[in-house]
Amino acid sequence: MARVADAKCRLCRREGVLLYLKGARCFTEKCAVRRRETPPGAGARKMRGRLSEYGRRLREKQKLKRIYGLHERGFRRVFAEASRQKGNTGENLLCLLERRLDNVVYAMGLSPSRAAARQAVLHGHMSVNGKRVTRPGIVLRAGDTVASTPTEKSRKLVKTGLESARAIRQAPSWVSVNDGELQGIVTTLPKRADVPFDINELFVVEVCSR
């Protein structure tokens, strides 16, 4: 799986909003977006005012990709799946992204950030329904249980993540978490209202359908 290697604070500044890519740091005054509202790069302040209609739609797509840590190929795969499902394609897309294993691990608070959650899954520290998994992109269903694997290293990693996450945020309503057991359950499927970002999914669908 490809890794997003760009400086995370620069990605937030480029989009002009908090994408919460660095865990606890994003909730402090050290956050780069709070300190500098301008995009990175010389002359970027002027560039922001010259976005075309296509540019506005492209920025929404880029924002969504960066929030969930996806490259173009992986994002297109999720979009194709959303297009095949019944209902609103934009809402389907957002709900599929929320149900990715790495995002669910983050949402439950088992890791301090999505990047940390992705790494924990890739390194074999997480299990789904009692089975060790190493694919952060698998889509979970209602009733699935996510937990740390029984090794001491995994349990310590998840416990540290929980302590860090609980100090700044709570798990969403569509998951149930047992902090003592270091595990959580997807109680219901997330809906559009459960997506914690201001995203214009219609713009994303328009630019992906070209």
Q: Residue 42: what pLDDT?
A: 54
DSSP 55: H
pTM of the complete model: 0.81
Q: How far apart are CA 158 and CA 105, in angstroms?
A: 10
How much of the chain exceeds pLDDT 90, in percent? Answer: 59
In a domain, 157, yes or no: yes
User: Distance between CA atoms of 207 and 54, rounded to whole angstroms?
Assistant: 7
Q: Would 14 be classed as within a structural domain? A: yes
What mean pLDDT is reported for the chain?
A: 84
| Nearest of 22, 48, 52 to residue 37 by alpha carbon | 48
pLDDT digits (tens, 9 = 90+) for 66-76: 889 899 999 99
CATH code where residue 182 lies: 3.10.290.10
- Based on the fold, state whether residues 178 and 129 are members of the same structural domain: yes
**Residue 108 is part of which domain span?**
100-189
HSE, side-chain direction, 13 A CA sphere, residue 196 = 16
Q: State whether 108 and 56 are in the same domain.
A: no
Q: Is the confidence at residue 1, as pLDDT, over 50?
A: no
What is the number of domains present in the chain?
2
CB atoms under 10 Å from CB of 77, counted, come to 12
80 shares its domain with 117: no
126 plus 177 within the same structural domain: yes
Residues 20 and 88 in one domain: yes
Q: Does residue 125 lie within any of the structural domains?
A: yes
Residue 2 in any domain: the answer is no
Same domain, 20 and 84: yes
